[in-house]
Structure 1
Amino acid sequence: MNRQPDWSLWRSFAAVIANGSLSAAARALKLSQPTLGRHIEALEAGLGLPLFERTLTGLKPTAAALQLYGPVAEAEANLATATMLAEGAQAEPGGTVRITASAMISNYVLPDLLLGIRERHPRIAIEVVPSDSAENLLLREADIAIRMFRPTQLELVTRRLGDIALVPAAHERYLERRGTPASVDALWSHDLIGFDRSDAILLHARNLGITLSRDNFVLRSDDQPHLWELIKAGLGIGFAQENLARRTPGIVALPIDLAIPPLEIWLTTHRDLFTSHRIRAIYDALAEGLLTYINA
């Protein structure tokens, strides 16, 4: 009787289908492409079944592969749940907690919060994943997530901490050089800092009856920490979290109402992890620190 394929082969198979290509799956699993390719070949040999067609554009799953993917993905989710249940039953206060948050929160808010958290819980190691994408808590890509939107999965424990206002902001050096705009109309004649490919600012301006284009922004990037550093350097007026602007030396939050929707802040974890002592300890400490930041 043939030995059943190792779970690692099934995991690689599921990753290729879920991510759409061998290279994307390799990045997701932190494996090399040759290793992932060998996993697929070994799985096909073990099953005696072709799972992918080799084309010039990459691997294309066969009908059999698509049929197998459902049970494999379900098994992967069940294994993740089993791991979470086991961790939730642990009483040991040590271990590691993996936190994901937006790039701005990770770089400019979390460091101060983690200073106090590490002093209170020195035996708990912290891993931080700065990401503006929605890391999957259900598959253990993170233990705790700080979200700017309300999570909807029933398996998650969520807590809405509050809102953070977004305001136009600039450094004192820029305002001394170019003057301080006193109205919405005056704002558009300044050196504006904004997104490159994202049209979020342009769409919001259009909703206010203001016509803007990329040309209105003399400095553009889709990397938000980089945009913040450009503002801090005095290169122009950008948009920032009001709390962050007010606590950053030299930065002025301009009193111009652009009716920008505030950022909602949600703290989230998986319900099966919420009973873990270390997860709960860090979750509660993050909630305390973020509430202080939001209400400052």
Structure 2
Amino acid sequence: MDQSALSWDHCRSLLSVYRTGSLSAAARALGVTQPTVARHVEQLEQALGGAALFTRSPQGLAPTEAAETLIPHARAMEASAAAMVRAASGPDDALAGTVRITASEVIGIEVLPAMLASLGAVHPQLTFELVATNETADLLRRDADIAVRMVRPSQGALIARKVGDIRLGMFARQDYLARRGTPAAIEDLAGHALIGFDHETTAAQSLRDRGLDIRREVFSFRTDSDAAQLSAIRAGLGIGICQVALARRDPQLVRLFPDTMAFPLETWVTMHGDLRGNQRVRLVFDHLATGLSAYVKAGHSA
């Protein structure tokens, strides 16, 4: 393999074709021409000894085993390139530049924007990149500068601060309960419209351990998006689980079984140890830790 022939542009095209499934879609995503993407993939194949990276299928271009092997490394290059751009956006000792944050769907959509808005009002030279996903970002690979996680980080190279346990509860809208009645016991849920997952999750087993018959078939509204589940509860589609502090914002939501249906969700703010001297990252880290601590307390006072 000719390592000198490898190029980030080639790997970027590889990732784009892998994600989109076609040369034309990859070219549009990258803002280049289709022949350019095709040439990059071909040159990468040649640099790797001629192994094909994609094969044609009815659904488009399908990655080969060789491509699947390369993708994690290409993603690491992508994360490093993005981290370089963020590092160049401002000096370490300045409260200016870009900070990339990742958090779960609900926290990223419902909680963090207000916190970032208040910080941005004081420090307008800060730029925020927010990734709202339930997938765990690799901070060691620098997928993000800061992560809000619902599990304790295990990597020793990370700085982690626990902000508390976010409380989850079972809720329904008042008009739903007016139509269908308020269940007096957990057993009464069998006659109600329930909101839950489409594919099996580890959280489902936790609920079963608490006596709930949680299977995909029992849900009247199924989605793997926590944000969509929250929206369904707010719309009055049925009974579901959401964060207590969020439910407090909507006076139409009624909590059910507060003594038995209470689930703690430990919450951590983390960042790479190498960023401890970066003033803008440290500022955002401390601001989010303070704001999320207050958010956790709001849920416990409900």
Tell me the TM-score normalized by structure 2.
0.78
1:72 CA displacement = 8.3
- 2-side partners of 1:75 and 1:196: how far apart? 33
Aligned to 1:274: 276
Contact 2:99 2:129 in 1 (8 A): yes
Aligned to 1:60: 64
| Closer/same/farther in 2, CA of residues 188 and 49 from structure 1, 3 Å limit | same
Contact 1:96 1:126 in 2 (8 A): yes
- 1-side partners of 2:147 and 2:175: how far apart? 36
Secondary structure at the counterpart of residue 287 of structure 2 = helix
- 2-side partners of 1:168 and 1:188: how far apart? 14
1:183-198, aligned counterparts within 5 Å? 183-198=185-200
Aligned to 1:40: 41
Alignment deviations for residues 163-186 of structure 1 (CA, whole Å, 9 cap, x no partner): 112111111222233332232112
- Structure possessing the higher relative contact order (Cα contacts under 8 Å, 6 or more residues apart): 1
1:214-293, aligned counterparts within 5 Å? 214-258=216-260, 261-293=263-295
| Closer/same/farther in 2, CA of residues 210 and 114 from structure 1, 3 Å limit | closer
Aligned to 2:209: 207
1:279 CA displacement = 0.5
1:6 CA displacement = 5.4
Q: Specify every segment of 5 or more residues in structure 2 that has no aligned partner in the other structure, as ranges.
A: none
- 2-side partners of 1:21 and 1:119: how far apart? 36
1:35-184, aligned counterparts within 5 Å? 35-45=36-46, 47=47, 49-52=49-52, 55-56=55-56, 58-60=62-64, 90-184=92-186
1:276 CA displacement = 0.8
Secondary structure at the counterpart of residue 4 of structure 1 = helix
1:213 CA displacement = 3.4
| Closer/same/farther in 2, CA of residues 98 and 293 from structure 1, 3 Å limit | same
- 1-side partners of 2:77 and 2:205: how far apart? 42
1:293 CA displacement = 0.2
State the number of aligned residues.
Answer: 289
Q: Specify every segment of 5 or more residues in structure 1 that has no aligned partner in the other structure, as ranges.
A: none
Contact 1:52 1:61 in 2 (8 A): no
- 2-side partners of 1:153 and 1:209: how far apart? 34
Alignment deviations for residues 166-215 of structure 1 (CA, whole Å, 9 cap, x no partner): 11111122223333223211233222111122355653343244434333
Secondary structure at the counterpart of residue 159 of structure 1 = strand
Contact 2:89 2:98 in 1 (8 A): no
Contact 2:168 2:264 in 1 (8 A): yes
| Closer/same/farther in 2, CA of residues 88 and 147 from structure 1, 3 Å limit | farther
| Closer/same/farther in 2, CA of residues 132 and 54 from structure 1, 3 Å limit | closer
- 1-side partners of 2:72 and 2:188: how far apart? 56
| Closer/same/farther in 2, CA of residues 170 and 56 from structure 1, 3 Å limit | same
Secondary structure at the counterpart of residue 188 of structure 1 = helix
Secondary structure at the counterpart of residue 163 of structure 1 = strand
Contact 2:232 2:238 in 1 (8 A): yes
Aligned to 1:7: 7
Which one-letter code corresponds to 1:195 in the other structure? F
Which one-letter code corresponds to 2:199 in the other structure? R
Tell me the TM-score normalized by structure 1.
0.79
- 2-side partners of 1:71 and 1:192: how far apart? 42
